[in-house]
Amino acid sequence: MCDSSSVQPPPIIGNYELLEPIASGGMAEVFRARTVGIEGFERPIAIKRMRKGIATDQEYVEMFINEARLASQLTHENILQVYELSKSDGQLHIAMEFVEGRDLRQIVQKLGKANRTLPIPAAVHIAIKLCHALDYAHRKTSLTGQPLNLIHRDVSPQNVLVSYDGLVKLLDFGVAKSNLACSETEAGIIKGKSGYMAPEQIRSERIDHRVDIFSIGVTLYEMLTGTRLFAGENDLQILEKVLMGQLQRPRKVNPDIPAELEAIVVKALRRNRNRRYDWASQMAEDLQAFLINSKQAFSPQLLSSFMRYEFSTEISNSSPSLPAASILGGKTRNLAKKSSPAPKAGRNIDREIRRRISQIKLKRTQLKKQARKRLMRFAASTAALSAAVFLMLSITVQSQKLETLSITTNPLANIQIIVDGKPLGTQSPLLTSDLAPGFHILTVRSRNYRTQTIVFEHFPDKANSIHVDLVPEAIAQLQSP
């Protein structure tokens, strides 16, 4: 029997109660914490605390203070919120927003292990949110109305958090440059990650906000291709490649990338900053236009579904997952005790996942029944059509693998069937066995019909079928309010 009197109360830092360590790095350590108030009030929060051993290093102290000073001025849905900077027992600490999710590097790496990349609409959606965050930061003014001239200087996948709720957050303004910065960067000192810096940043030239646009271009390139744009055995090799402009076209790596999207990426990556986008908002507008023109709608809800599917194991384990690599500036390690019981929130997430899976299975059953009914109606329309459809289905069902996806449509011909931005065929029924398990986006188009876009989940080792009814454009217009 454990003696309850021996249980130590959680440590307190200022107004915050530390619950458990998340990660530790060379400069700081991060804790999951909460604020506690009257009448049971509490709020989840993250505490980033500077290590005692470097509290006397003025450069690190200035970076720490600079991060808090800048980020606290920024209030935007796509920027991780910083609440306050304070000191307790001689140690500086920052109270910041706690968000459960994974950083973009972790997402790309996990997909890469399965020879997959982010769905194109998801990658574009994330890039748009980054553009919104940076455009806000670039145009931000002080309390007196003076431009802050803020430049992030360290935009990279490690500094982009995607939450399980489908939110995109830009992190780490520790090396940002602005009129509020405590000190100027010394000549010859390069700040940022080598593979994501613009050429003028490497050359230590006078920079402006367009270096961040270059970094967005690199990040989007890697989301779309699953590979590093500038890779090398060491930083020197990487920097040389950036300066030389050794750029392999995205479509050479991933032929599924549309030419219109490739042009946007390439423009952001111009070595000459005068040929890049002037503002991140302009890049966001072009990316949004691409989604509209290609009829590939995407939303935070779809991103949430994607994240919860891909990281279902991590969510069920309910381990804290603030991307420590990006906010610590060093190698991280998960310090959560494996033997700790899952918190109540984790059990709630488990129940929610099981509920959603049950809903998906029920929906799949309903879709199969609807597809069979519609196929019977099609078959009854004419004897010739009936024979053709029956013959096609009987042949394909016999040879169909369990993991094959069957797509049927009404009308059957003169259509475009597109999955994740890749055209698959122009006739129905259509069979494909090239899809990886997980969420995908299906778009069906036909002349004089209203385009339909749906998100579906492809299950491994099971027969998957989808039916799509296209509504004539004239009827759809009459039905519109």
pLDDT band at 176; cut points 50, 70, 90: low
Quote the DSSP letter at residue 5.
Answer: G
**Is 212 tagged catalytic?**
no
Quote the DSSP letter at residue 437.
Answer: S
Q: Model confidence over 286-345: pLDDT tens digits? A: 999 999 999 888 999 999 999 999 999 888 775 444 443 334 433 333 333 333 333 333
Judged by DSSP in three states, 370 sits in helix
Mean per-residue pLDDT over the chain, rounded? 78
pTM, to two decimals = 0.65
Quote the DSSP letter at residue 258.
Answer: -
Report the alpha-carbon distance of residue 214 to residue 203 in Å, rounded.
Answer: 15
Choice among 103, 135, 154, 172 that is catalytic? 154
pLDDT band at 365; cut points 50, 70, 90: low
Quote the tokens at residue 27. Answer: 């400069």
Count other C-beta atoms under 10 Å from residue 105's C-beta: 18
Altogether, the residues listed in the chain come to a count of: 481
pLDDT at 451: 86
Q: Model confidence over 20-57: pLDDT tens digits? A: 888 777 678 888 899 877 777 888 999 988 887 777 78
pLDDT band at 373; cut points 50, 70, 90: low
**b/e for 191-219, b at 16 or more Cβ within 10 A?**
ebbbbbbbbbbbeeeebbbbbbbbbbbbb
Amino acid (1-letter code) at residue 459 = F
Share of the chain above pLDDT 90, in %: 33
Let me know: does 156 contact 219? Beta carbons within 8 Å.
yes
Quote the tokens at residue 165. Answer: 């709720």
Report the alpha-carbon distance of residue 94 to residue 67 in Å, rounded.
Answer: 9
208 or 38, which is more confident?
208
Report the alpha-carbon distance of residue 415 to residue 427 in Å, rounded.
Answer: 6
